[in-house]
Structures are given as structure tokens and as C-alpha cells.
Structure 1
Amino acid sequence: MSRQALRVTVRRWHLWLGITLGGLFALVGLTGSALVFYPELERAFSEPLHAVPAGTRPRSWQAVLDTLHREHPERTGAWRIEVTAEGGAIPIRYYDPPETRGPGRFAPLLLWIDPVQLTTIRAGFWGRTVVTWLYDLHYRLLLDAPGGTALGILGIAMLGLIGSGLWAWWPRPGSWRRALRFKRDAAAVRRLYDLHKVVGLASVGLLLLVTATGVMLDLPDQTRAVIGRVSPLYRASAVVTVPRGAMLSLDALARIAQARMPDGALAWIETPAGPRGTVRVNLSRPGEPSRRFPRTNVWLDPYDGRIVAYRDGLAETGGDTVLDWLHPLHGGEAAGMAGRVLIFLSGLAPTMLFVTGWLRWRRRGRQRRSMHLV
């Protein structure tokens, strides 16, 4: 096949991939842009959360746990208490509540506690708040685990859409200047092409990054299987404790964990799932890609404070390092606020590409029909 014939074929692939997948790509991009600021949106949509001043902290984390036990005595499983950098209302999760339990479902109970009054100021199940509904739409198309798998497979096709567009545009030697021009005085079909081209070229790097990391996040088992062939991956060993007396306070256990990793800031505290379980403390250390979901973990015996296992997020294998960076790169957190803004803007690009590509296709179709009628 000649170079010109190959270019024509790739352009056709790009056209039909864009027509069939462009709308879905736009939907995923727009929802992804919104979710870049997921915690901020959660507060903005809730007056009780917005009313709690930033910087407010509870007098103790044990007092927070006591509130949970008092208000929800029937929930005897593990609680995950988030320790946010900015303070304010305390986000808490209770995984696998009986109300939403089901195969392939992710629908924890979400609570927010006032750190001063130590009362629940907001409660709801995952997928039943505006922001978590958007998250499910973006991540699993509201179809639980099968939706995530389907979106991961479609994401591979989206990578083909991006790559075919870049291939179809790639100029011949000596024609780069003409290929990069935006012809303001050209016909509408040409201006649409130029706008499509400019948006695509400006966003192609980020779109490839976000789409590729999205595919890997949507297909976690397949991703781990592939990476595990090249590099060993961390596997937490099952640790059980022997009940003996009262448990130590969460504050004492958090201090022990921080003494093990003195440069780590508290990110999450997870309580035992039962009387033989452990307390897990997640610590965010300088150099980890995610402040919110760090990989430095310390597991403690809640009865005597003994450290039974730990994971150093800065001493990962190559494979685990790849996995650790997926979510922070996908959402832009790895590059701070500037990275989040760039990812937000990149999420708008698929809509612009779909609209300009579809309009150009329609206009060219009308032109061809008009020529046949003459």
C-alpha cells in the first residue's frame, strides 16, 4: 500500500472512530474535567460542609470514632477516616454497607462529621450524591464493574482515535508550516478542519496520557497482570491480632505510625474490621505522587500498638511505582494545582474535537450531495 493510500485509509478509520466513539469520548472528558475538582465540588454542593471553616480540626481522632460508634452502633466493620490537608468537615467511608451490597458494586456509606460539634452533618451512599454519581458515570458508565471493563476496552479504541488523527495529519517533509497554519479567510469547511487540527495538536499529549491511564485504571486486573510479568508487585499479607483488653486510642496509634515514618502527614486512619483486625494508618510523605491516596501504610496491633507491617511509598518496585502514579497523573494531582488545571482543560478538548469533526463531516456531506444534484 502506498503512503498516500495508507493516509486515506487512516483518515477513514479516524472519521468512523470519531463518529461512533466521539460522543462517548466527549462525555468521559467533560465528566473527568468536573472530577478534577471532586473534593471542592462535594463541598460546594453541600451547605453544611461549606459552612465548616477550613483549618478546623477535631480534638482527637478517637472522639471522631466514638461519634461513629454512638451514631451507628449496628455498623461493626471498618471505618476509614480521612485526614484532609485543609481541615474542615471530616470525610468518612464505611465500605460494603448492607443497604448497597451487591456483586461488583462499589457503594460505600459516606459521612461528614463536624470536627467541633462531633455530629454527622451529611450522609449518603456512593452514587446517590451529585458528585459521586458523576464519578460513577465517568468511571463505570453507571454499570458497576461490567461498565468499567467496557469503558476500559472502549478506551483502547479511543487511543486509536487519537493516534489515527495524529497520523492522518502528520505533514510531509517541508510542509510543516502549511500544516500548522490556521486559514481565517478560508471556507467554513476548511476553518472547521483548522480548528479541529489546532485543538487536537494542543491537547494530543495530555489526551494520550489521560486516556492511557484511564484504560489502566478501568482494567486493574489486566493492568496488574501485565505489569506483574515485568516487575514484582506489592501484596499485603493477611495479619490478624489476638483480642486482649481495650484497644488503644486512634491518636496513640497514629503517633506510633508517624514515629515510624516521621516525615509522613496523616492522610487516612482505618479502624479494624473486627476484633482480630488491625488499624491501618496512611501517611503522605514528600515525594509521593498523591497526597490524598499515598502508598505509605503502617498496620498496627490496636491492643498494644505493635507495628505488624508497613509499606514505604518511596521504596516501591518499578511496577508498583507505575501503579502509584496512575491516579495522580490521570487527575493531575501529581503536578499540583497547575496539573489539575491542565487536566481540566484537556477534558474539554474531546467535546470540541467531536463537535468540529461532526460539523465538518456534515458540511462535506451536503457539498457532495449538492454536486451530485448539479
Structure 2
Amino acid sequence: MSLTAAATPVSAQRRISFKPALVWLHRWAGLTLGLLFVLMGLSGALLVFEHDIDAALNPHLFHSATACAAPLGVDAAAQAVQAQWTKAKVGGVFLPRHEGGSLRVTFKAPGMETGEAMLDACTGALLGSRDRSAIGLGAQYWMPMVQTWHLNMFQGKSGRLAQGYIGAAIALLLAVGLYLAWPLKRQWRRALRIKLNQSAYRSHYDLHRSIGLLAALPLLLLALTGFYNGLPEVVGGMVARIADVGAERRSIARPALKKDESAISWGEAQAIAAPYLQGGATMAGISRQPDKGLYIARLVRADDWQRTGTLRIYIDMRSGKVLEAIDPLSGKAGDRFLAALFPLHSGQLGGTAVKWLLALAGLLPALFFITGITTWRLRRKK
């Protein structure tokens, strides 16, 4: 017997054993990651409409009590919060998203690590406050809790990193499932057919496979963009290998502001960023980072992909000098690609129809988890 003839059965055996190995991987990855996938999907479906749901649950927080021609200045908004919490460190002031909306101020204070205060945009009166990391039964805590779970499972930075790796693992689970469900000889009509008047095993299998084929690509998109949200530096480095990407923006910083060192005010930072309000751009808000010696103004372009704005102006807190204006939508191909990932994941890119499609996609992991388990159990019985 020749060496070639002897090797052929081994090669064939390897090809035969390849698919069962993938079936095993898909089954046990689904059983171990399935519940997480379900919770990610359900929370993500809610977060597509996060602002609308939050405003409906807490109308007193999102609507100013009085009407006026122009909202309160950012200086006055920061001072209003510090009058309420004398030891507060204000981190950001965000302007109303719509006419008659409230001002939102983020801050840290003793006992409130991620404080959020809503102010009347005309008078600066406090409409309400909450700690976004708190767990509570009140309606004001519901959407922040959903968002915190979705971002980091209540585990802070380490949880966010874990979510990135979970997103990659779910993407692998979906890719293996898509490979296993892919119809041979392009028999798509048969692959997408769901016959409920047959054995329970076959009906459950058809549901799992057919809907999986239809939904695999949108769910893969959500999993991979979730991978980016948890590990932006890793994904940014990967994209930089194949496309042009601008300089690393997280490195922009100045020495930390000392305790008694003078700095420009919130209002001055707003005025410095004002010349960039061109072509229909609006001011979304300003954040203050004394540990990096920076103010960062966030502007929303008329054609922006993100409701909180992608155009950012970095301002030196000491001198008021504009260090850099970051506009990824007008940047290199890699910058535009990276700037699209979060809006794609959150449903901000594409309009209302895309939001509803993403919300529906967020419900499907529950269907796959249930039909996956029932198919497995019914097959074992057979």
C-alpha cells in the first residue's frame, strides 16, 4: 500500500470529524454564554429607546418647568449644582436636547460617585437628581441600571473589558452557528422553511436554524460592535493595521491641574469652542477633566451619526488654547469606520426603522436560547 493511499482515509476522517467538533463547540458555547447573550439582547433592545423610555418614566427630570428664549449658561449650571452639593466636583454640563428640555449636569460628591442632576434650563432650579450607578426601585433608576448592566455588569472598568471579550465570544458562537446552518447546494427554500406540523424536535430545530440564518448577520454586527465598545483600543489597533487612522486621541493631555491653580471657566471654554459651530453644528455639552488639564467641548454636526456629537474640541484649562479639534466624520477612512461602530450598535445611525430592527434583534437571543435547549433535549430523548 502506498503512502498516498494510506493517508487518504485519515484525511477523510479529519473532514468528517470537523463538523461534529463545531456542533459540540456551538452547543456548549450556547449553553454557557446563552443566558448572558439573552440578557445582553434584552437590555440592548431597551437601550435602543433609552432616552424615550427614561423621559416617559421620569417626565419631571427631562422637561423644564418654565419657558425662555435661551438656556442658562454652563457656568451658572455648574454653580447651581455646587450650591446643592458643596463638595461636588462637576464633570460635565450638557445642554437641552430639545426645546423645553432640561440641563443635565454630571458630578462626583461624597456618597455619589456618578451623580446626575437635572436643572430647569431657564432658572437653574433643581428638577431632580440620581446616582447613575445606584440600584433602586424608583423609576429614576431603571434605565441607568439597564445601561450599567449592559456596559459592565455592575463591575466598572473590569466589567467593561469582560463585556468586550464576551462580545467576541458571542460573535464566534454566531459564526459557527451560521456555518452549521448554511444550506448545502444552495437549498435556501428548504433551509428557511419552518414546518410546525411535524415532530417537536424537528419544529424546534427548524425555528432555531431558519430564524438563525435570517438574523445571524445583524446579530454578528451587534456582537462585533459590542466587542469594540468594551475594548476600543484593541479594535482601534486592529483597524489601524488595514486602514488609515488618525493619531491616538486618548493621549491628548496636559499636566493635572493643581488644587489652587487658576483655570478658565466653563463659560470661557464654551466661548472658545463657539467658532466651531459652523454648518448647522450645535453645542451638546462641555466636560471638565482637571486630571488631564482639559476642557472637552462636544459638538453635534448637522449630519452627525451620534446624538451626543462626534466633533470634539480639546481646550487647555490653563491657557484656553485649542489643543486639537477631532472630527472623525471628516477624517481618514479608519476614523470614519470607528466613529460608526457605536452609533450602529445603539441604533443612532439609520433612523427609526433601524432602531426597531435592532430592538427586534435584541429579542431573538431569547428565542435561540430556548429553542437551542429544547432541540438538544429532544434530540437526546430520541
Shorter-chain TM range is 0.7 to 0.9
* One-letter amino acid of the structure 2 residue matched with residue 22 of structure 1: G
1:194 paired with 2:211, answer no
1:111 matched to which residue of 2? 117
Given the two structures, how large is their TM-score scaled by the length of structure 2?
Answer: 0.81
CA distance in 2, matches of 1:246, 1:184: 70
2:282 matched to which residue of 1? 265
Structure 2: gaps (5+ residues): 1-10, 135-140
Q: How does 1:99-138 map to 2 (within 5 A)?
A: 99=111, 107-128=113-134, 129-138=141-150
Deviation at 1:363, TM superposition (A): 2.1
Structure 1: gaps (5+ residues): 101-106, 369-374
The structure-2 alpha-carbon separation of the partners of 1:84 and 1:325, relative to structure 1 and needing over 3 Å to count, comes to farther
CA distance in 1, matches of 2:319, 2:161: 43
1:158 matched to which residue of 2? 170
Given the two structures, how large is their TM-score scaled by the length of structure 1?
Answer: 0.83
1:69 matched to which residue of 2? 82
1:79 paired with 2:91, answer yes
1:296 paired with 2:311, answer yes
1:103 matched to which residue of 2? none
The structure-2 alpha-carbon separation of the partners of 1:174 and 1:70, relative to structure 1 and needing over 3 Å to count, comes to closer
1:175 matched to which residue of 2? 187
Deviation at 1:283, TM superposition (A): 0.8
Deviation at 1:158, TM superposition (A): 1.2
Deviation at 1:229, TM superposition (A): 4.7
CA distance in 2, matches of 1:317, 1:326: 15
The structure-2 alpha-carbon separation of the partners of 1:67 and 1:16, relative to structure 1 and needing over 3 Å to count, comes to same
Deviation at 1:302, TM superposition (A): 6.8
CA distance in 2, matches of 1:360, 1:349: 16
CA contact 1:258–1:283 (8 Å) conserved in 2 = no
The structure-2 alpha-carbon separation of the partners of 1:215 and 1:244, relative to structure 1 and needing over 3 Å to count, comes to closer
1:313 paired with 2:319, answer no
The structure-2 alpha-carbon separation of the partners of 1:177 and 1:291, relative to structure 1 and needing over 3 Å to count, comes to same
CA distance in 2, matches of 1:97, 1:223: 34
- Greater relative contact order structure (CA < 8 Å, 6+ sep): 1
Q: 1:14-51 deviations in whole A, cap 9, x for unaligned?
A: 22221221111111111111111222232233242255
1:13 matched to which residue of 2? 25
Q: 1:64-97 deviations in whole A, cap 9, x for unaligned?
A: 233223223322x443112243241222212x54
The count of corresponding residues between Structure 1 and Structure 2 is 356
Deviation at 1:273, TM superposition (A): 3.2
The structure-2 alpha-carbon separation of the partners of 1:356 and 1:64, relative to structure 1 and needing over 3 Å to count, comes to same
Deviation at 1:288, TM superposition (A): 3.1
Q: How does 1:231-310 map to 2 (within 5 A)?
A: 231-235=245-249, 236-239=251-254, 247=264, 250=267, 253-263=269-279, 264-271=281-288, 273=290, 277-292=293-308, 294-300=309-315, 307-310=322-325
CA distance in 1, matches of 2:301, 2:119: 26
CA contact 2:328–2:335 (8 Å) conserved in 1 = no
The structure-2 alpha-carbon separation of the partners of 1:29 and 1:365, relative to structure 1 and needing over 3 Å to count, comes to same
CA distance in 2, matches of 1:124, 1:216: 28
| Cα RMSD after superposing both structures | 3.1
Identity %: 26
CA distance in 1, matches of 2:246, 2:166: 28
1:44 paired with 2:66, answer no
CA contact 1:289–1:334 (8 Å) conserved in 2 = yes
CA distance in 1, matches of 2:263, 2:228: 43
